[in-house]
Amino acid sequence: MKSLGGSVILVAALSLTGCVPTADPYPEIPRFAKSGGQTQAELEAKLATIPGLKFLKASGGKPNVKGNTGFTFDFELDSGYRIADPAGLVDYLSRSAWSVRDGYMPNSVIYVQCLCNVADNLDLVVAGEEAGWVKKDSQTHRGAAENGYTEVSVWLLLNDSYSKIWGSDENRERLGKWPGEAPAVPENLVVPR
């Protein structure tokens, strides 16, 4: 009886301080792998070697209320450079997102967003299609905005009504087991004008 009373007092005290231990709401989502792939810091070091690109964000996040996790690359292109291989860049970034082991496995989408040069009229959706990560005509936000902004979504959702339309099944099969092998930065992705 005494230990039960002590437990009740402990739970009550923890409740008052807001420190009640909660169960992991999404235990099925892989996270923080002990080996394989690369760390977030290793990815950031590789991204820093790509000339002309300034990454504002290159990371994943915790699961949202639906249990979805993603990875976002948000970057700007210096006006003195051009993206010479847009499909290669989308491919490299997609594989890189999948290779980061010290976070949650992306299970919904990899976003690639660029504020690029207006004159290039770069369309990352077309680049994603050419790289094989995006099914043709499956994305509505095509083309570059007036300021040169362009984006693409590489979908990873499984068992979703849109997974076949968006190519999620094929993307996950292509990526393989998480975390995937960390890709090397391809040469000449971005070159001086």
Do residues 148 and 122 lie in contact, with contact meaning Cβ atoms separated by under 8 Å?
Answer: yes
* Residue pLDDT, tens place only, 80-101: 999 999 999 999 999 999 999 9
**Structure-token match 């006006």, residue found:** 79
Tell me the C-alpha distance between 132 and 144, whole Å: 20
Predicted pLDDT of residue 165:
86
Tell me the C-alpha distance between 155 and 90, whole Å: 13
Predicted pLDDT of residue 9:
44
Beta-strand pair 70-77/53-60: antiparallel
Low-confidence ranges of the chain (pLDDT < 70): 1-22
Three-class secondary structure of residue 51 per DSSP: coil
Predicted pLDDT of residue 177:
97
Predicted pLDDT of residue 159:
77
Bridge partners, residue 114, by sequence:
75, 150
Do residues 110 and 97 lie in contact, with contact meaning Cβ atoms separated by under 8 Å?
Answer: yes
Beta-strand pair 53-60/81-83: unpaired
Predicted pLDDT of residue 24:
75
* Residue pLDDT, tens place only, 150-166: 999 999 998 778 888 89
Taking the model in full, what pTM does it have? 0.87
Amino acid at 38: Q
Strand (E) or helix (H) holding 113: strand 109-115
